[in-house]
Amino acid sequence: MKMADLVTARLATSADCEITTAVAEQAMLTVRDERGGRWHLDHDADGVSAHERHTGAVRDIRQHLVVGCIDGSVVGYGLAHLSATTDGQLCMIDELIVHPQAQAIGVGSEILAEVRRWATVNQCEALESQVLPGNRAAKNFFERVGMKTRKMRVSADLI
C-alpha cells in the first residue's frame, strides 16, 4: 500500500476539535517569529480561541472544518467559510495547517480538495486564502495546487 492510499480528508466532527485545536496551537507557537506573524497575531486575529473557532465551524453551515488524516489519524485541518461578494460568494480558507512531521506527503492537498468540493457545491466563484510573507512553503503549496497571488497587503509600523 502506498502512502497516498493512507492519506485522506473528511468533514470534521466535534470529537476532532481537540486535535485540531492542538495542531493550531502548536502552529501558532512558530507563527509569531515568521515575517508578518506578529502583525497577524496581534492585529488580524479575532481573539477567539482555536477551540471556539473549530467547534463553532462544526455547527455552522456557512463554515467548513475538514481534517486531514494518515491511516485514519488526524494530522491536520482546514477551516473555510463562505464570504459574500457583490454578485455571488467565494470560499475563504481561514486556516490550513498540517503537522510539520506530516507535511509534503499530500495531506494538505487532500484537505484542499475537500474544501474545493464544498465550495463547488455552494457555488463559490473562487477559493481564497492568505499566506504570511515569510511562509514560502505555504505560498509554494497554494501555487502548486493552482492558486495564484491576486492581491498583496502592505503595512508600516508607526510606533
Domain boundaries, the chain: 3-144
Q: pLDDT above 90 covers what percent of the chain?
A: 58
**pLDDT, position 43:** 60
For residue 14, the one-letter residue type is S
Task: Domain 3-144: give its CATH code.
Answer: 3.40.630.30
pLDDT value of position 1? 45
pLDDT, averaged across the chain: 87
- 67 grid coordinates: 481534517
